[in-house]
Amino acid sequence: MGPPPVRLTYYLAKHQRVQEKLQKELDEALAGNDDPVASFEDVKRLPYLEAVINEALRIHSTSGIGLPRLVPAGGYALTLPTPQWLTDCMAAMQAKYPDDIFEAVIRKNVTSGVYEFRIKCADCPGKHYTPGPGETLQNFEVHLKNRQHRSKVNARVHPPAPA
């Protein structure tokens, strides 16, 4: 794929959200700097820039054996900001189905290795639903309308009276 700067440019073009977040960090750090080339002093303490560079080098290492992913003892919690469209759709769906309990979770796609958002239903353990099509929750709404799901929600909300 080419040298590290080419790889980094490729991944930034492929992942628009990362590019936008990095651009924001750079714009804030370099505000008022008219020089077209930033100095090392200006960018050496930018955490997101460092993370992006390290991740690009980890994925396509200059070393033939790759680079290890260093994780602190006890693990590392992956946190990704929930896209605004997903937050809005979840709120609208919750308003439409107030008795249902569900949440957006992050899952790693076992085939591609990419982390993706899924919708987890509290009444149907072990099931995770893909948002979509597009920036909607129509796929998940099919589940919410399912007769078996509705039965589980009704049993939770209106439990049978004790005998």
The answer on pLDDT for 39 being more than 80 is: yes
- Extract the tokens encoding 34: 């008219």
> What is the per-residue pLDDT across 2-38, written as a single tens digit (0 to 9) for each?
566 777 787 788 888 888 998 998 888 888 887 778 8
pTM of the model: 0.51
pLDDT at 79: 63
Most confident of 32-36, 98-102, 159-163: 98-102
> What is the per-residue pLDDT across 45-92, written as a single tens digit (0 to 9) for each?
888 888 887 777 766 655 555 555 566 677 666 566 788 888 899 999
pLDDT at 145: 95
Q: How far is CA 22 from CA 8, 73, 140, in A?
A: 12, 28, 32
For residues 153-163, average pLDDT = 85
Q: How far is CA 115 from CA 35, 68, 119, in A?
A: 37, 19, 13
Query: With contact defined as beta carbons under 8 Å apart, do 4 and 56 qualify?
Result: yes
